[in-house]
């Protein structure tokens, strides 16, 4: 929202019309040379319009526009943003995302499961205010991509860097759960949640899902698990992480719903099936409504001054007028 620090100073704009009259219209002004011409055929002589006259008229407009902008800059134009500042701490959320090659399957044309999930998770992050959000990815290995933070731009950035097959060809849900568990804060007073998004079954890793569940349960962390995928053959394409070689083909995978359901129910969370990923939005909304923390918010007014911008443009226009008058029109005033 635009505003002015000292709007009353805009009254200075009232000086502009008399100044225009003084500089350009007053017949007694300096710089005006009165030359008399005889009447030609009963009509007063008028010089024909020319490019010079048009240019002179333009410089008048340019100059006074510049002066007006400088006056506006004195009034202190400001862009006002009212930003929410959260006084309490919200949830701690870790997004636990499957990056096994099967996430490259395209249930929806032109977009693979991982892209679909990332897009929806970005919308989910956009609704956070006081919550901390982190990202853990898992394939055969699992690794923290972003620690729990309120720097949502970085979370989105790190989510965007996830690629199918970046952590190996397997699916190690147990290891993923364990890595997530150790990256929450030790603060026991805070609600902690894992949002697990996967399309497969546990087929790799040194930690079993049961051990992962145990770690989370002991730390009081709830898991909301989301199953992706379909029972039909779908097109799949991804790049090998080591060689960069493109691999494509058709894929028909198995989603171990019972495992995801068990992870969720054992930790006090819920399981959702999001099919081809399009249903993920409503699933995340359900998670949102299940995990509401009362936020204490204060609105802070942040002012972004725009005076320098007006002053630069105003000064530029005045110098432009000066340049045209001296270099092209060669005026003497």
Nearer to another protein, 188 or 298 (CB): 298
- Is 170 in contact with 253 (CB distance < 8 Å)? no
154/266 with CB nearer another protein: 154
Token pair recorded at residue 200: 């497969």
On whether the CB atoms of residues 301 and 84 are closer than 8 A, the answer is no
Structure tokens at 134: 């982190």
Q: Quick one: 80 or 308, whose CB is closer to another protein?
A: 308
Q: Which is nearer to another protein, 156 or 217 (CB)?
A: 156
CA distance 35 to 22: 20
3-state secondary structure of 238: strand
- Terminal C-alpha separation, the chain: 42
Q: Least distance (Å) from another protein to the CB of residue 189?
A: 12
Supply the minimum distance, in Å, between the C-beta of residue 153 and another protein: 8
Give the nearer residue to another protein in terms of CB position, either 148 or 263. 148
By the 8 A CB rule, do 116 and 278 touch? yes
Q: State in angstroms the smallest separation of the CB of 288 from another protein.
A: 17
Residue numbers of the site for another protein (CB under 8 A)? Answer: 5-6, 9, 12, 15, 19, 22-23, 26, 28-34, 67, 70-71, 73-76, 83-87, 129-130, 132, 134, 144, 146-152, 154-155, 182-183, 185, 187, 298, 305, 307-308, 311-312, 315, 318-319, 322-323, 326-327, 330-333
Shortest CA distance to 247 belongs to which of 98, 99, 101? Answer: 101
- Minimum distance between the CB of residue 89 and another protein, rounded to whole angstroms? 9
Torsion, CA 157, CA 161, CA 167, CA 168, rounded to 10: 160
CB of 93 to another protein, least distance (A): 13
């Amino acid at each position: 929202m635009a505003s002015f620090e000292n709007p009353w100073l805009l009254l200075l704009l009232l000086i502009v019309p008399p100044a225009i009259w003084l500089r350009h219209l007053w017949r007694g002004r300096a710089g005006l040379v009165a030359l008399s011409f005889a009447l030609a055929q009963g009509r007063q002589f008028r010089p024909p319009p020319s490019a010079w006259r048009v240019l002179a008229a333009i410089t008048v407009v340019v100059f006074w526009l510049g002066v007006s902008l400088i006056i506006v800059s004195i009034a202190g134009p400001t862009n006002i943003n009212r930003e929410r500042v959260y006084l309490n701490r919200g949830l701690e959320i870790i997004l636990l995302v499957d990056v096994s090659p099967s996430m490259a399957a395209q249930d929806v044309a032109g977009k693979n499961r991982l892209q679909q999930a990332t897009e929806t998770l970005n919308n989910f992050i956009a609704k956070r205010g006081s919550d901390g959000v982190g990202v853990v990815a898992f394939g055969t290995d699992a690794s923290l991509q972003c620690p729990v933070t309120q720097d949502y731009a970085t979370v989105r950035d790190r989510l965007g860097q996830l690629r199918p097959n970046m952590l190996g060809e397997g699916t190690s849900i147990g290891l993923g759960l364990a890595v997530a568990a150790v990256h929450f804060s030790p603060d026991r007073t805070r609600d902690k949640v894992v949002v697990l998004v996967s399309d497969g079954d546990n087929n790799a890793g040194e930690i079993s899902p049961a051990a992962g569940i145990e770690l989370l349960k002991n730390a009081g962390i709830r898991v909301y698990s989301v199953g992706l995928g379909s029972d039909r053959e779908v097109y799949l394409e991804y790049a090998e992480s080591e060689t960069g070689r493109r691999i494509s083909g058709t894929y028909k995978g198995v989603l171990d719903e019972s495992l995801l359901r068990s992870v969720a129910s054992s930790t006090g969370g819920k399981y959702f099936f999001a099919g081809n990923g399009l249903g993920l939005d409503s699933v995340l909304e359900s998670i949102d409504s299940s995990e509401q923390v009362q936020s204490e918010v204060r609105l802070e007014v942040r002012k972004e001054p725009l005076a320098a911008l007006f002053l630069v443009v105003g000064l530029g226009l005045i110098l432009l007028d000066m340049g045209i008058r001296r270099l092209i029109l060669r005026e003497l005033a």
